[in-house]
Amino acid sequence: MDKLWAPWRLKYILEDTALGKNKVCIFCFYPVDQSEKDKENLLLYRGKLSFVIMNRYPYNTGHIMIAPYRHVAGFHELSKEELEDITLLMKTCINALKDAFSPQGFNIGINQGKVAGAGYEEHIHVHIVPRWDGDTSFMPVISDTKVLPESLSDTYDKIKENLHEAY
């Protein structure tokens, strides 16, 4: 068996384990943290009713999520104002990702409920994943391993630089 060493991921594994033990929702925990920790927490933008955060375990470089501040599990529970805020942030984020990485397309989705694939089913969130022609190589198909060409910190800086006011 081949081994792919990624020692930097231990911090994230332990952090997620600690949050899980305490039953803390990441979408409630990170936005209320001090703004000086935004980069460490991968929080990119604070909107009026929702915020943008990077996925710590991205499918592709630039994989981000938008979530309301309010802790609700279902899309149907969002207010009109929250839906408008999330939609404006989606547009803003897509433009920022286009400027930062020139993707050829996007996967945009909501996994509502555990059976639908939601990692955090208690707090609704929207995934935006930039896509490029050929971004699925043999690594994930054959060896169930995804190779990301850039650090989360560098990706954060590029998105943040291109993320402009949504309103």
For every residue of 55-107, DSSP letters joined together read -SS-SSTT-EEEEESS--S-GGGS-HHHHHHHHHHHHHHHHHHHHHH--SEEE
Residues with active-site annotation: 125
Q: Is 51 helix (H, G, I), strand (E, B) or coil?
A: strand
Question: Which tens digit of pLDDT belongs to each residue from 65-79?
Answer: 999 999 999 999 999
Q: CA separation (Å) from 159 to 54, 75, 97, 135? A: 10, 26, 6, 19
Highest mean pLDDT among 15-19, 96-100, 110-114: 96-100
Q: Is 155 helix (H, G, I), strand (E, B) or coil?
A: helix
Q: Which domains does the chain have, with CATH numbers?
A: 7-162 (3.30.428.10)
Taking the CB of residue 6, how many other CB atoms lie within 10 A of it? 10
Residue 6 has pLDDT above 70, yes or no: no
Q: 55 or 165, which is more confident?
A: 55
Given this model, what pLDDT does residue 140 score?
47
Residue 19 has pLDDT above 80, yes or no: no
Q: What share of the chain has pLDDT > 70, as a percent?
A: 74
Encoded tokens for 120:
């955090």
Mean pLDDT, residues 8-26:
61
Given this model, what pLDDT does residue 138 score?
44
* Amino acid identity, position 30: Y
Q: CA separation (Å) from 47 to 4, 38, 50? A: 38, 14, 5
Largest CA distance in the chain: 51
Residue 115 DSSP one-character state: G
